[in-house]
């Protein structure tokens, strides 16, 4: 089995259009949540979201090509350009067949579906763009990134709701560990702050309606949490085998030592209240890593700010770690940037790598009244950051 390392990270988030800006704003305790600007929210219960602000895809993408990409694909391609800029490296011609791309996307091109459906009703099928299908499909993020990077190895889109980005990283890690590839671009991308997206999650009663206080609406593990906040963006990692990274003199930021996945086999939207499914994924990762649970000292939590997730996640952590759970420092990035859905695992992995590389754990804002049922979160910081 090959050892797998992280040699570069990149992100576009509601906290900034690159990973450094996003990281600094995260440490400063800033919120990326505000009023929705993408459409008229007059008839919507939820009027707030964590939008990416001031994003210009033409900084990295030709204007003509950018028009043929959905926003989630633009996020991914721009992040991939930054990824290689940060690495100070590009894939040589001789190595392209050993480099791959796996990018998770939860929902894909909702904006394009809305636009084309309106055009269909107003002007008929003859006015539908020939790029309609290629633009909206979820695997376009991985596809376009592979074209830009020249990565000819595995090219995959993982679509597993909130776990899409994390599963992409796990799959990329596995491909390198098993020797199928030497280099993998991986993570997640999403942009579904749209009429259909917000209306759909409102119908599920999943979103916060704390419209009068946008920056305080996302509050993981707080007793007064009322739902999650939709976010958007992309987070990518460059993974390499240790031998490959060492041979080219790469700057190694972290090592991936294990991955765990599980299915609740329970319900289409709700986790089992005892947290057993989440606990199984954590145990699988720890077992594959070959470490003892007592060696874990930090968790970047899912922390969605929904009643059920935060409770179940607390119970899962206690199941896996027992008394040691109370000694683990936990952070919930979604308190500041909302829930990026398919991109969440990618962006939060970027922040986890930065936590390791820089030795500072981001705090969790808006945890003003700790939920006593989420008592494991006693060490979740409400300060800007925890050294």
How much of the chain exceeds pLDDT 70, in percent?
Answer: 97
Mean pLDDT of 172-197: 98
Q: Could you tell me the domains of the chain?
A: 4-386 (3.40.47.10)
Mean pLDDT of 152-160: 98
Q: Which residues contact 245 (CB under 8 A, 6 or more apart)?
A: 5, 7, 252
pLDDT band at 269 (very low <50, low <70, confident <90, very high): confident
* Residue pair 86/10 in contact by the 8 Å Cβ criterion: yes
- Per-residue pLDDT, 376: 55
Closest CA to 165 of 368, 340, 354: 340
Which pairing describes strands 99-104 and 155-156: parallel, antiparallel, or unpaired? Answer: parallel
Q: How far apart are CA 153 and CA 171, in angstroms?
A: 13
Q: Rounded to two decimals, what is the model's pTM?
A: 0.95
- Per-residue pLDDT, 387: 40
Q: How far apart are CA 334 and CA 162, in angstroms?
A: 12
pLDDT band at 375 (very low <50, low <70, confident <90, very high): confident
Quick: pLDDT tens for 3-36: 999 999 999 999 999 999 999 999 999 999 999 9
Q: How far apart are CA 157 and CA 137, in angstroms?
A: 10
Q: Can you list the positions of beta strands (E) in 207-252?
A: 233-241
How much of the chain exceeds pLDDT 90, in percent?
Answer: 95
pLDDT band at 378 (very low <50, low <70, confident <90, very high): very low
- Per-residue pLDDT, 383: 47
pLDDT band at 214 (very low <50, low <70, confident <90, very high): very high
Quick: pLDDT tens for 49-107: 999 999 999 999 999 999 999 999 999 999 999 999 999 999 999 999 999 999 999 99
Mean pLDDT of 269-295: 95
- Whether the pLDDT of residue 320 is over 80: the answer is yes
Q: Mean pLDDT score of the chain, rounded to an integer?
A: 95
Q: How far apart are CA 26 and CA 351, in angstroms?
A: 9
**Catalytic (active-site) positions:** 162, 302, 339
Q: How far apart are CA 232 and CA 52, in angstroms?
A: 6
């Amino acid at each position: 089995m090959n050892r797998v390392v992280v040699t570069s990270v990149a992100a576009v988030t509601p906290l900034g259009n690159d990973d450094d800006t996003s990281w600094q704003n995260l440490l400063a305790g800033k919120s990326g949540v505000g009023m929705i600007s993408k459409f008229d929210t007059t008839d919507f219960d939820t009027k707030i979201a964590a939008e990416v602000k001031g994003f210009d895809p033409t900084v990295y993408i030709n204007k003509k090509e950018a028009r043929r990409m959905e926003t989630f694909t633009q996020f991914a391609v721009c992040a991939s350009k930054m990824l290689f800029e940060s690495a100070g490296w590009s894939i040589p011609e001789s190595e392209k067949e050993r480099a791959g791309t796996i990018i998770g996307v939860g929902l894909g091109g909702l904006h394009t579906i809305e636009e084309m459906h309106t055009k269909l009703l107003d002007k008929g099928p003859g006015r539908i763009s020939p790029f309609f299908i290629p633009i909206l499909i979820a695997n376009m993020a991985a596809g376009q990134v592979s074209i830009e990077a020249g990565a000819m190895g595995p090219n995959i889109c993982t679509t597993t709701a909130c776990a899409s980005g994390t599963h992409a990283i796990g799959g990329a890690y596995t491909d390198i560990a098993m020797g199928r590839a030497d280099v993998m671009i991986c993570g997640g991308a999403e942009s579904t702050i749209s009429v259909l997206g917000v209306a759909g999650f409102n119908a599920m009663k999943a979103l916060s309606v704390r419209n009068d206080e946008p920056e305080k609406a996302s509050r993981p593990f707080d007793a007064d949490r009322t739902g999650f906040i939709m976010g958007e963006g992309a987070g990518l990692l460059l993974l390499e085998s240790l031998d490959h990274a060492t041979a080219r003199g790469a700057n190694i930021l972290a090592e991936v030592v294990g991955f765990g996945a599980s299915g609740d086999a329970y319900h289409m939207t709700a986790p089992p209240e005892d947290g057993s499914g989440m606990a199984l994924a954590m145990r699988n990762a720890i077992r594959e890593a070959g470490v003892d649970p007592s060696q874990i000292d930090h968790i970047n939590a899912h922390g969605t700010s929904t009643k059920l997730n935060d409770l179940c996640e607390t119970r899962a952590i206690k199941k896996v770690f027992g008394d040691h759970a109370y000694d683990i420092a936990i952070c919930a990035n979604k308190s500041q940037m909302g829930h990026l859905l398919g991109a969440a695992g990618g962006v939060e992995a970027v922040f986890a790598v930065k936590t390791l590389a820089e030795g500072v754990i981001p705090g969790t804002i808006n945890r003003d009244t700790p939920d006593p049922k989420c008592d494991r979160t006693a060490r979740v910081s409400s300060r800007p950051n925890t050294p």
